[in-house]
Amino acid sequence: MHGAEVLLLLVSSLAVTTLARRLNWSAPLLLVAIGLAISYVPGIPAFELDPQLILVLILPPLLYSAALDSSYLNIKANIRPIGLLSVGLVLATTVVVGLVAHMVMPQLSLAAALVLGAVVAPPDAVAAVSIGRRLGLPRRSMTVLAGESLANDASALTAYKVAVAAATGTASISFGSSVVTFLISALGGIAIGYVLGVVVHAIRMRIGDGVLESALGMLVPFGTYLLAEETVHASGVLAVVVAGLYLGHNAPRAGFMTRLQETAVWRSVDVLLESLVFALIGLQLKSVIAGDVTWKIVLGAAIVLVVTILMRFAWVFPGTYLPRLVPRVRSREPDPGWRSVVVIGWAGMRGVVSLAAASAIPHEMPGRDVVIFCTFVVTVGTLLSQGLSLPWVIRKLGVRGDEQQSDALAEAQVQHRAAEASITRLDEELAANTAPEHIIERLRGVAEMRGNAAWERLGRQERESPAAAHRRLRRVMLDAEREVFVAARDAREIDDDVLRRVLRELDLEEAKLSREE
């Protein structure tokens, strides 16, 4: 793609995402659908999906951003179901889909069919998580889906490398060697990610400059991925995920400026990259089916799609309830209920990792075109069928989380303790250093208001609470201050540098008000 085409694709993707958000639709699904339609418009250039671009420049930042925003403690508490999905289900899907594809499409060797199985094995939870967050899925279900998406790519890509090596004749499939390769790749990636996370966190704690700390954070996903993949041939995906989890877990110990900047930067990066890749999924269809696609291949691809969907259901129900026969597991893990299990089973949409892996298959591998076609059928088929119907399934089954009330109560209790601690610290400081009385009273008032705000939200009062009135009136005052400073800049009374500094102070205060709501 030329620079102008890339720019046009980025702008168009963001426009579609904006429309989807305004209409409260799923942006990934709308991007795929519009991409499919546009791919058949005469004169539209062919958009090639560069696998190296996806695997090196797009996948690491997406995974890193998701890991930063994930809860290490929640993932640790749900490591068993996450592991069963991200490792067990991926490997089982690779084998079952590979065997079925080999039977229904004999032109595919067993090794090539296993490549197809590995390619379509990892679900992409971007669409599922966005839908679940919007509809209020239980926290445990969201944690399992997000945790699965962080680790399943590593399992699938490792199995993919082994199968490709066998299909191209550079190695033979051996259970023992495959297990050793998988373990080395996984453990090496975890070790590299942890070490780099510790090192980067130590460096950032000593820099003391929010801009430089954020700049270093931007390099972490790319450097971690390349170091793991190119240096020790370990799993770059796992390395990025572990580094992101470590840095995200320790982010509260870093500076406030770093947290503010990283949150804004990575959310913007997520929107841009996700819009781009889902648009590319739709635009690729025309070039995929332009080859020699027979009705037998179409039928075989449809069977692979059905088997891929059913395989997830065949795994999640036994994977949920069989371990609960063990008393220790049953006592430690709450029963998710069959409705939540159905939602987890239906949230198996495939995405950009599958397409990137299929595109990266060596051209000398027999059956490459068939594998790529089947991958697109599975990816687009799951996005359009499961993705479009997932909101309906969630609403029909009535699966909703009940954490809102308990979260509000816990927040109110901790906020009350935090307010008391801040006043105690203030009194200790005043014992050593005096301050003007009006400043002291103002600080005490702010602490008391923050301590009461969470209780007021918990009470859900119909009339406006004091804290809500404070936020509303303070926003009005902030707007008035901005108008005065902008008018002074326009009248050349102050310089733009002064305006930018003041606006940042006002914006930070308004951001704090928004987070208190």
User: Can you say whether residue 251 is alpha, beta or left, with left for phi > 0 and alpha for psi between -120 and 50 degrees?
Assistant: alpha
Q: What's the CATH fold of domain 3-401?
A: Na+/H+ antiporter like fold (1.20.1530)
pLDDT at 173: 56
174, amino acid identity: S
Which residues, 6+ apart, have CB-to-CB distance to 154 below 8 Å? 86, 185, 186, 189, 235, 237, 238, 241
Neighbours of 70 (CB within 10 A): 21
- Domain boundaries, given as residue ranges, for the chain: 3-401, 403-460, 467-517
Q: What is the DSSP string of 326-383?
A: SHHHHHHS----HHHHHHHHH-----HHHHHHHHTS-TTSTTHHHHHHHHHHHHHHHH
Residue from 236, 305, 237 nearest 86 by CA: 237
324, amino acid identity: R
pLDDT at 502: 83
pLDDT at 371: 92
In whole angstroms, what is the distance from residue 81 CA to residue 334 CA? Answer: 12
9, amino acid identity: L
Backbone angles phi, psi at 41, to 5 degrees: -75, 130
User: Is the distance from CB of 101 to CB of 111 less than 8 angstroms?
Assistant: no
In whole angstroms, what is the distance from residue 312 CA to residue 83 CA? Answer: 14
pLDDT at 482: 86
Neighbours of 468 (CB within 10 A): 16
In whole angstroms, what is the distance from residue 36 CA to residue 283 CA? Answer: 6
| Orientation of helix 27-38 relative to helix 368-397, angle to 10° | 140
Backbone angles phi, psi at 137, to 5 degrees: -60, 155
User: Is the distance from CB of 360 to CB of 52 less than 8 angstroms?
Assistant: yes
C-alpha torsion angle, residues 147, 150, 156, 159 (rounded to 10): -100
User: Is the distance from CB of 151 to CB of 158 less than 8 angstroms?
Assistant: no
In whole angstroms, what is the distance from residue 219 CA to residue 237 CA? Answer: 15
435, amino acid identity: A
Average pLDDT for consecutive 10-residue bins of the chain (517 residues)? 76 91 82 85 73 81 88 88 93 95 92 94 82 83 90 87 82 65 86 95 87 89 93 89 92 76 85 85 72 83 96 94 88 87 93 83 88 91 89 91 68 74 82 80 77 62 64 83 86 83 81 69
Residue from 339, 315, 308 nearest 141 by CA: 339
Backbone angles phi, psi at 372, to 5 degrees: -65, -45
CA distances from 462 to 465, 468, 473 (A): 8, 11, 18
C-alpha torsion angle, residues 253, 255, 257, 259 (rounded to 10): -20
pLDDT at 82: 93
Backbone angles phi, psi at 335, to 5 degrees: -70, 120
User: Is the distance from CB of 98 to CB of 110 less than 8 angstroms?
Assistant: yes
